[in-house]
Amino acid sequence: MQEEPNKEQGNEEEDFPYRTEFKKKSIRSYVIRGGRMTEGQRKAFDTYWGPFGLSLYDGAIEPKEIFGREAPVVLEIGFGMGDSLLEMTEAETDKDFIGIEVHPPGVGRLINNAGKAEVKNLRVYMADAIDVLNDCIPDASLDRFQLYFPDPWHKKKHNKRRIVQPEFVKLLCSKLKPGGLMHMATDWENYAEQMLEVLEAEEQLENTAGKGNYAPRPEFRPQTKFERRGERLGHGVWDLLYKRK
Ligand SMILES: C[S@@+](CC[C@H](N)C(=O)[O-])C[C@H]1O[C@@H](n2cnc3c(N)ncnc32)[C@H](O)[C@@H]1O
């Protein structure tokens, strides 16, 4: 049965019309917290959602049309407050970036800073990434996929909410071009082990660091906010870097 679009979300302020987009599903990898938005983040939606925002309900995109050029496309899921993604758009201006995040204050912060910096190679969904992958991203269209410090859901009974599962990785593989990169990082060892197990089992992928190995942090990945937080708490960091065969 086709799922009905669902636009409910935690941010209930009536005069704020921007809503996280997602379809009903039994298990979600996130909880939408309304979270207080700063005045700057709120205003950013009125000024910058137009140039940067994409909607789940507009269906499949053609990156070449959206960015007005043919360039490698990088997709990031769960950019949080967006600072590291913004840094990457500015460091790799030869690539076009699509960010997906469900947390409105993070989206507001990213488009505010990207707008002020006149960034041209970025578009953003405020939506559930699973729905965006299914409905909007064409097959074999991505040159790189990145997932940095996804929610660890560390209690055993919540492990099923972790976004990295075999079917998620299979879906990602279908969106990557042959030779495209799949990059993940986490500061939670038990989640790193799960990522390794799932990625190693996917036969469309080849581990760039050699079978069963974690990778050194590639130069293109800046430190993220969650990574710094983990570092303060004494956590390690595990990068996983695979290539689509
Ligand atoms: C722990 S934070 C990490 C943020 C950022 N990558 C960093 O390293 O600072 C994980 C983020 O993933 C987002 N997220 C989780 N599941 C998601 C989904 N299905 N679609 C989009 N965003 C998601 C959460 O809202 C959260 O902001």
Q: How far apart are CA 144 and CA 172, in angstroms?
A: 10
Pocket test for ligand 1, best of 41, 109, 126, 151 (most atoms within 8 A of CB): 151
pLDDT score of 32: 84
How close is the Cα of 106 to the center of ligand 1, in Å? 10
Which residues form the pocket of ligand 1, taking CB atoms under 6 Å from any ligand atom? 29-30, 77-80, 100-103, 106, 128-130, 148-151, 163, 224-227
Atom of ligand 1 nearest to the CA of 148: 6
Burial degree of 124 (CB within 10 A; 0-12, 13-18, 19+):
buried
pLDDT score of 10: 44
Angle CA(155)–CA(147)–CA(47) in degrees, nearest 5? 110
Report the SS3 class of residue 179: strand
- The verdict on whether residue 15 carries a ligand-binding annotation is no
Helices (DSSP H) in the chain: which residue ranges? 39-52, 63-67, 83-91, 104-116, 129-135, 166-175, 189-201, 225-232
Ligand 1 atom 24 nearest Cα:
78
- The verdict on whether residue 155 carries a ligand-binding annotation is yes
- The verdict on whether residue 177 carries a ligand-binding annotation is no
Q: What is the pTM of this model?
A: 0.94
Amino acid letter, 139: D
Beta-bridge partner residues of 100: 77, 125
pLDDT score of 35: 72
How close is the Cα of 201 to the center of ligand 1, in Å? 24
Q: How far apart are CA 19 and CA 21, in angstroms?
A: 6
Q: How far apart are CA 107 and CA 124, in angstroms?
A: 8
Beta-bridge partner residues of 144: 74, 181
Q: Is the distance from CB of 214 to CB of 172 less than 8 angstroms?
A: no
- The verdict on whether residue 89 carries a ligand-binding annotation is no
Q: Is the distance from CB of 206 to CB of 241 less than 8 angstroms?
A: no
Ligand 1 atom 11 nearest Cα:
78
Beta-bridge partner residues of 241: 183
Per-10-residue mean pLDDT of the chain, 245 residues long, equals 42 76 94 85 97 98 98 98 98 98 97 98 98 98 98 93 98 98 97 98 98 96 93 95 98
pLDDT score of 14: 62
Ligand 1 atom 14 nearest Cα:
78
151 is catalytic: yes
pLDDT score of 3: 39
Angle CA(36)–CA(106)–CA(169) in degrees, nearest 5? 130
Name the active-site residue from 83, 135, 143, 151.
Answer: 151
How close is the Cα of 3 to the center of ligand 1, in Å? 23
| Structural domains of the chain, with CATH | 5-244 (3.40.50.150)
